[in-house]
Amino acid sequence: MKKQFDFKGEIIKAFGGENFPAEVFFGAFKKGLFELGETLLNGKIEVIMAEKDFKKVGLPVYEAIKSLKINARLLLIEDKDFSFSAVNTSFSGEISSCIAVGDKYLLSAVRYYSSLHKIPCFAIPLTPCFDKLLYKSVYLKTKGQQAELVADGFKKIIVDETLILKAKSESFAEAYACSVSKLTALIDYKLNCFLNGQSVDENLFKLVSNGINLALGSIGYESPKLSIIASQSVLMIANAKSDLLVNSGAECVKTALSVYAREIKDCKREFISFEKTLKLYHLLFSNDFSDLLSVPDYYADVEVLEKDFKRDRAYFTKNVKVPSEKRRKLINLLLLKTSPDFKRETTAILKALSGIKKAYSSMLGVAGDGNVSYKQIKNSVMAGAYLTDKVTALTLMRDLGVLQCAN
């Protein structure tokens, strides 16, 4: 018999007694808005949401805001406006603060433009993939590669699980894959620490693991979607504490897929980047590549990337730190020492992969998520290694020539 999920209780348990950040409110949006009442009473408030969300979810939120006798006006955004430029032009001197209600793309756009105008911003997410809402940067939706830009943080994020539960199944499939992909991000984090002589933050590592486990265990609850929302909540706060999860190998492959496989859904990009990265990492840790004669052709790779991403090559070359012969030997020694432990990790994840796929498909339902070609995956894996300046298993595979052989 499947268990009931105690939403707030499980989040508190994952934190091990720590207090939630002041910027986050967990509970009914009406109560959250009421607590903000004094903050919002002075001046004019801009409430921003997508047209597609208004009738289904957004109207009750707007009515709740108006019921507080707040001087608020509503701005509805067309979803086809990739850059949400209408958000930028709507701000004026008469606006004292704004409330963004929507998915991660709309919330990011409102946060960025309100930051430019120095207008306090509040957020109410309507979809479950929101692990970056407290991160120092936002990721803006574009027609190609998403843009990462530094922005002021939200003054308050109201997480009302009853609103988020109304999101589409594919949004929950994406959030599930996003949480599970952090399994490989933790491997990247440890590698980065080892090679840079840093110690692993055990408390943070445990917090992230707890967040991942909430998603992995979701299938055992009557409402698995609640467990996924809780997982994203924990990971959101972990991302506020550290950037250890950001720009991991899987995340960079996903970003590249947004260029090479624009036609597929976000959930598919999320899952396939995790699956392919996991298998590549297992390849790296299962073999001794210290005598491999293959070397990367950085120039040829960057030439392709410059053309495909329509960005100057400096954007990619700034992330490349070509290892010296001495550092290459250090990397090989580190891999020789740590590979058995990492192999055990990747083996365990691979054994669980069929169950993870089953849970992902169950979450997705009949929505479907499209197909990706071998070439699209191959190009995305190659590109992903150039989209971060961090040490990841993926960048190590590039620098050691392993990625070229794997391709």
Using pLDDT thresholds of 50, 70 and 90, give the confidence band for residue 284. Answer: very high
| 177 pLDDT above the threshold of 80 | yes
**Do the beta carbons of residue 109 and residue 146 sit within 8 Å?**
no
Region 174-189 average pLDDT: 97
Over 80: is that where the pLDDT of 1 sits? no
d(CA 199, CA 220): 35
DSSP, res 54? I
Task: Using the predicted structure, report yes or no on whether residue 38 has a pLDDT greater than 90.
Answer: no
- Mean pLDDT for 289-294 is 77
Percentage of residues in the chain having pLDDT higher than 70: 94
The larger pLDDT score, comparing residue 327 to residue 231, is at 231
Confidence of residue 361 (pLDDT cuts 50, 70, 90): very high
Is 80 exceeded by the pLDDT of residue 92? Answer: no
Residues 88-124, buried b or exposed e (16+ Cβ, 10 A)? eebbeeebbbbbbbbbbbbbbbbbbbbbeeebbbbbb
- pLDDT at residue 88 above 80? no
Helix-strand-coil percent breakdown of the chain, rounded to 5?
Answer: 55, 10, 30
Please list, in sequence order, all residues whose beta carbon lies within 8 angstroms of the beta carbon of residue 287, skipping any fewer than 6 positions away.
none
pLDDT at residue 37 is higher than 80: no
pLDDT at 20: 79
Q: Mean of the per-residue pLDDT values for the chain?
A: 90
Question: Is residue 3's pLDDT more than 60?
Answer: yes
Whether the Cβ atoms of residue 167 and residue 128 lie closer than 8 Å to each other: yes
Q: Which residue has the higher pLDDT, 142 or 192?
A: 192
pLDDT greater than 70 at residue 386: yes
The pLDDT value given to residue 376 = 95
Contact 180, 356 (CB under 8 A): yes
- pLDDT on residue 82: 57
Condensed to tens digits (0 to 9), the pLDDT of residues 63-87 reads 988 888 888 889 998 866 556 777 7
Q: In the structure encoding, which two tokens stand for residue 235, read together?
A: 């990971």
Q: Is the pLDDT of residue 306 over 90?
A: yes
The whole-number average pLDDT for the span 246-273 is 94
How far out from the chain centre does Cα 339 lie?
A: 27
Mean pLDDT of 269-276: 96
At residue 368, the pLDDT reads 59
Least confident interval from 1-10, 142-151, 296-305? 142-151
Residue 35, token pair as written in the block: 């607590």
Please state the pTM of the whole predicted model. 0.94
Give the tens place of pLDDT for each residue, 96-145.
899 999 999 999 999 999 999 999 999 999 999 999 999 999 988 776 67
